[in-house]
Structure 1
Amino acid sequence: MAEQTATGTAEKGGERFSYTDGSIHPLNRPQPKPLKHGLSFFLRVLTLGASLAALIVTVTNKQDVVEPFFGGPFGFEISADFKYMSAFVWFAIATAIVFVYSLLAIIGEACSLSKSTHSTYLLWVTFLLDLTMMSIMMSACAAALTVDLLGQRGNSHAQWGAFCHKFDSFCNHVTGALVAGAVAFAGLAELCILDAYHLSTQYTRY
């Protein structure tokens, strides 16, 4: 006659256990997916490249034009440089910070390839850092976009005239840098969503 084996699960102190003929074993809680996976790595590389492109375009952006003196044959030279506007300076600093962070994050993930799971502490630190970088990038893009729109359209209420018709190359480079900055922001936003998902799996119990 075949022997019958008593099996089942029980819960004690918020933890679930399995038992077999009186032997009790804790059930393994689900572990978060590793941070180093295809989508996360792609987003970090995308953020790295976009922030670097935005930084290079911004710090090399300068245009000199000659403004005629009262419409005569003589004139004087005027320049547009990112260093003349605090919004563009902050944009350059922000993209540099995001670039360095993205580079370090990629190196950190590459060093943790051998680990199948990550601690809750590491997940929280990664989430908060990604969220901070996203906020920095968002504020820098907003500041630079405000000046860019002012240069293209002016502000009739404040009697500020547009200047992009004179510095067309400078404004075109600003627009390109803003597009790259927006891509970096989008990459960081997606990383924050992934971080939140990893944290949710860490605290999920079955």
Structure 2
Amino acid sequence: MSKGVALEAGTTSKGASASRGLSILDLIFRIVAGVSTLASAIAMATTNETLPFFTQFIRFRAEYDDLPTFMFFVVANSIITGYLVLSLTFSIFHIIKTNAKGSRILLVILDTAALGVLTSAASAAAAIVYLAHKGNTSANWFAICQQFNSFCERISGSLIGSFIAVVMFILLILLSGFAISRRH
């Protein structure tokens, strides 16, 4: 009988240790996603380039806020960054209290909503970046990246950070689902 109780206590300790490990991994993923979305928002919001045309008095300027899609991208990444900062408190709470189930379910729901917003913003911006790089001759949209090279490099880099955050959110949702399913 005492052997069974000792075995059961060892299993519980091992389960708590595994849950704590999952919670630490959750915290790391949230930090990586937060840094990625913050860097993406800053990179996009500070992107502009001016090119002279014939004379120095006439110039062409490309800025992120010339396109509503890029403005949506910056706003969405900023909101998601704020959400991730706030969700760090839940993540730290899960490290301390490994058997919290209700807050994990809440995080899965909020993470899924954040993933949807972030994916839509990154995908819409990716379509515009593709047009900037390749153009569309059927619609008479010219590729501007040959002229505005620095602008295009920054907006492309900003997309990379945002899609890294998308991957982190997918991993967070899977990780949370796994942590919740371990409780049953």
Q: Judge same fold: TM > 0.5, yes or no.
A: yes
CA contact (8 A) 2:135 2:142 kept: yes
CA 1:155/1:78 → structure 2, altered by over 3 Å: closer, same or farther?
same
Partner of 2:105: 124
Give the Cα–Cα distance (whole angstroms) in 2 for the partners of residues 128 and 96 of structure 1: 19
CA contact (8 A) 1:54 1:95 kept: yes
Kindly provide the amino acid, as one letter, of the partner of residue 66 in structure 2: Y
CA contact (8 A) 2:133 2:145 kept: yes
Give the Cα–Cα distance (whole angstroms) in 1 for the partners of residues 181 and 90 of structure 2: 22
Aligned residue-pair number: 171
TM-score (norm 2): 0.84
Give the Cα–Cα distance (whole angstroms) in 2 for the partners of residues 101 and 144 of structure 1: 21
User: CA offset at residue 195 of structure 1?
Assistant: 1.5
Give the Cα–Cα distance (whole angstroms) in 1 for the partners of residues 126 and 79 of structure 2: 19
RMSD of equivalent CA atoms: 2.3
Structure holding more strand per residue:
1
CA contact (8 A) 2:52 2:60 kept: yes
In the alignment, structure 1 residue 46 sits paired with structure 2 residue 35: no
User: CA offset at residue 113 of structure 1?
Assistant: 4.1
In the alignment, structure 1 residue 133 sits paired with structure 2 residue 111: no
CA contact (8 A) 2:27 2:92 kept: no
Alignment of 1:189-204 (within 5 A): 189-202=170-183, 204=184
User: CA offset at residue 114 of structure 1?
Assistant: 3.2
3-state SS of paired residue (2:137): coil
Counterpart of 2:45 (choices 59, 64, 72) is 59
Give the Cα–Cα distance (whole angstroms) in 2 for the partners of residues 90 and 101 of structure 1: 16
Give the Cα–Cα distance (whole angstroms) in 1 for the partners of residues 156 and 75 of structure 2: 17
Counterpart of 2:142 (choices 147, 161, 164) is 161
CA contact (8 A) 1:35 1:109 kept: no
Give the Cα–Cα distance (whole angstroms) in 1 for the partners of residues 30 and 166 of structure 2: 11
TM-score (norm 1): 0.76
CA 1:191/1:112 → structure 2, altered by over 3 Å: closer, same or farther?
closer
Give the Cα–Cα distance (whole angstroms) in 2 for the partners of residues 140 and 95 of structure 1: 8
CA 1:191/1:45 → structure 2, altered by over 3 Å: closer, same or farther?
same
CA contact (8 A) 2:26 2:172 kept: yes
3-state SS of paired residue (2:175): helix
Kindly provide the amino acid, as one letter, of the partner of residue 98 in structure 1: I
In the alignment, structure 1 residue 91 sits paired with structure 2 residue 86: no
Structure 2 spans left out of the alignment, 5+ residues: 2-11
Partner of 2:88: 106
The C-alpha deviation readout for 1:150-174, integer Å capped at 9, x for no partner, is 0111101111111111111100000
Q: Bigger radius of gyration, 1 or 2?
A: 1
CA 1:74/1:194 → structure 2, altered by over 3 Å: closer, same or farther?
closer
Kindly provide the amino acid, as one letter, of the partner of residue 60 in structure 2: I
Kindly provide the amino acid, as one letter, of the partner of residue 97 in structure 1: I
Moved over 6 A (4+): none
Structure 1 spans left out of the alignment, 5+ residues: 6-27
Structure holding more helix per residue:
2
CA 1:201/1:158 → structure 2, altered by over 3 Å: closer, same or farther?
same
User: CA offset at residue 199 of structure 1?
Assistant: 2.5
